[in-house]
Amino acid sequence: MSGAPAGVVVVGAGLGGIRVAESLRANGYTGPITLIGAEAHPPYDRPPLSKSVLLGKDDRVDLKPTEYFAESSIELRMGERVSAISPDDHTVTIERPDDPAHSETMVYDALVLATGLTPRALPGTEGVQGVHVLRTIDDALTLRGEIDSAARAVVIGAGFIGCEVAASLNQRGLSVTLVEPAPTPLAAALGTEVGALVTRLHQANGVDVRTGVGVEEIVDDGTAVTGVRLADGTALDADLVVVGIGSIPVVDYLDGSGIELAPRESGGGIACDARGATSAPDVYALGDVANWATGDGGTRRVEHWTHTVEQATEVAHRIAQSDNMIPAAPAYFWSDQYGLKIQVLGRPAPTDELHLVDDDGTKFLAYYSRDGLLTAVVGAGKVGAVMKTRPKLLTPTPIADVLE
Ligand SMILES: Cc1cc2nc3c(=O)[nH]c(=O)nc-3n(C[C@H](O)[C@H](O)[C@H](O)COP(=O)(O)OP(=O)(O)OC[C@H]3O[C@@H](n4cnc5c(N)ncnc54)[C@H](O)[C@@H]3O)c2cc1C
């Protein structure tokens, strides 16, 4: 390639996209950076969508002020979608959903894929008024717009987003039922013992938690939702239904590119080495869509905020060939429910041994261990105690030392 550098093209202007662009500049990268985002909004933060936005406290949750992009020489292209990639030519094809005739090719030196997830829908509910998923700010504002005229909500799926939505709708005065086929909320992430504490939290706030039962059917009157029928035959009335049954990595634009995807049984998404490189030269992936090698022969795809930021930093360092140190940090994520911060530090597995060391009926603190070693700490309303565990999660620490 000759002439001016084509620079770094980032596909996906969400958290991972903006953070890789920001970190490239922070690490001295001076070439062009183009950030392409399919949504008609500048990069915004998703965690508040199920919390302060639904509660009516925030309307905008932008990650950067408008002037940031010009000041940092980052070209932000909103409302544009990358529809194809040619690793051999080092090009992407860009389309504009609002202008079907538009198709443009852009050359890259390095390409970063940060295209996130799309929520799984319940088949047959598309277009039924009152049935929602939550991934984008448009989803959140549409859902919020229906809260005042609703009385009864059913939230399907008690993962983190389902639990947060149930809490927010409850706090907005709706009668809420939370439905989950697993034995407790958050069972897959935190195990059933901590899941039971989360059930207790929801019940204490008046949410009807139905676990161990799936959904048979969403009932509507031809236009709008009227209820949900559970697999055990229970009929729940509802004028608002939120479906939180997981999400799928956005990889459709990679068809025909030859870029390797991870098998579905290992989490799917874009297969990467342990520092974010895909199977194509000069193409990297990060964030919710990326499935990185873990260095111990495994792979992992994670759908959490801090993890995305850490991967963006790693990829930016690699592209900018920076020697700057990236400090080691244990895995971390959080969830806010009923004003209580639930924090998870480390990597708990549902099969780990659980050590509940503090529980006052609302707030709690629990450690997880495997083969005698500390794997994680989970706290609700226990910020100080959780954070104190950080150094112990950076080296193998006997659980006995933590409990003494
Ligand atoms: C409601 C909600 C609450 C959350 N709360 C928490 C929390 O409390 N704690 C926590 O740790 N994590 C939380 N998360 C997860 C966290 O927000 C994600 O891990 C993070 O947003 C991932 O960033 P990303 O850049 O990988 O993807 P995203 O933020 O999803 O950004 C991807 C962007 O790529 C765009 N895109 C997709 N395809 C294309 C294409 N072909 N061309 C151009 N653009 C494209 C999409 O439109 C999207 O804007 C929450 C997520 C949601 C949805």
How many structural domains compose the chain?
A: 3
Whether the pLDDT of residue 2 is over 60: the answer is no
Q: Among residues 192, 211, 245, which one ends one of the domains? A: 245
Same domain for 209 and 142: yes
Residue 395 alpha carbon to ligand 1 centre in Å? 30
In a domain, 133, yes or no: yes
End-to-end CA distance of the chain: 62
Residue 19 alpha carbon to ligand 1 centre in Å? 12
Task: Specify the ligand 1 atom closest to the Cα of 48.
Answer: 3
Model pLDDT, residue 1: 44
The whole domain housing 397 covers 339-403
Residue 307 alpha carbon to ligand 1 centre in Å? 12
Model pLDDT, residue 139: 97
Whether the pLDDT of residue 323 is over 90: the answer is no
Q: What is the mean pLDDT of residues 355-382?
A: 97
Same domain for 394 and 378: yes
Q: Residue 127: pLDDT band by 50, 70, 90 thresholds? A: confident
Model pLDDT, residue 295: 82
Whether the pLDDT of residue 24 is over 70: the answer is yes
Residue 380 alpha carbon to ligand 1 centre in Å? 24
Same domain for 234 and 129: yes
Whether the pLDDT of residue 378 is over 80: the answer is yes
In a domain, 334, yes or no: no
Whether the pLDDT of residue 259 is over 80: the answer is yes
Model pLDDT, residue 382: 97
Q: Is 157 buried (19+), middle (13-18) or exposed (0-12) by CB count in 10 A?
A: buried
Residue 131 alpha carbon to ligand 1 centre in Å? 21
* Mean pLDDT computed over every residue of the chain: 96
Residue 286 alpha carbon to ligand 1 centre in Å? 11
CATH of the domain at 128: 3.50.50.60
Task: Specify the ligand 1 atom closest to the Cα of 94.
Answer: 42
SS3 track for the chain: CCCCCCCEEEECCCHHHHHHHHHHHHCCCCCCEEEEECCCCCCECCHHHHCCCCCCCCCCCECCCCCHHHHCCEEEEECCEEEEEECCCCEEEEEECCEEEEEEEEECCEEEECCCEEECCCCCCCCCECEECCCCHHHHHHHHHHHCCCCEEEEECCCHHHHHHHHHHHHCCCEEEEEECCCCCCHHHHCHHHHHHHHHHHHHCCCEEEECCCEEEEEECCCEEEEEEECCCCEEECCEEEECCCEEECCHHHCCCCCCECCHHHCCCEEECCCCECCCCCEEECHHHEEEECCCCCEECCCCHHHHHHHHHHHHHHHHCCCCCCCCCCCEEEEEECCEEEEEEECCCCCCEEEEEEECCCCEEEEEEECCEEEEEEEECCHHHHHHCHHHHHCCCEHHHHHC
Q: What is the mean pLDDT of residues 305-316?
A: 97
Task: Specify the ligand 1 atom closest to the Cα of 80.
Answer: 43
In a domain, 332, yes or no: no
pLDDT in tens, 186-219: 999 999 999 999 999 999 999 999 999 999 999 9
Ligand 1 pocket residues where CB is under 6 Å: 11-17, 36-39, 46-47, 49-50, 81-82, 114-117, 134-135, 161, 250, 253, 287-289, 303-306, 308, 333-335
Model pLDDT, residue 363: 97
Residue among 10, 15, 93, 343 to mutate when testing ligand 1 (max atoms within 8 A of CB): 15
Residue among 93, 115, 313 to mutate when testing ligand 1 (max atoms within 8 A of CB): 115
Whether the pLDDT of residue 3 is over 80: the answer is no
Q: What is the mean pLDDT of residues 335-351?
A: 96
In a domain, 377, yes or no: yes
Residue 100 alpha carbon to ligand 1 centre in Å? 25
Same domain for 127 and 114: no
- Radius of gyration for the chain, computed over Cα atoms and rounded to the nearest angstrom: 22
Residue among 288, 301, 310, 342 to mutate when testing ligand 1 (max atoms within 8 A of CB): 288
CATH of the domain at 376: 3.30.390.30
Same domain for 276 and 186: no
Same domain for 255 and 216: no
pLDDT in tens, 52-110: 999 999 999 999 999 999 999 999 999 999 999 999 999 999 999 889 899 999 999 99
Whether the pLDDT of residue 306 is over 80: the answer is yes
Atom 19 of ligand 1, residue of closest alpha carbon: 304
pLDDT in tens, 212-226: 999 999 999 999 999
Same domain for 103 and 126: no
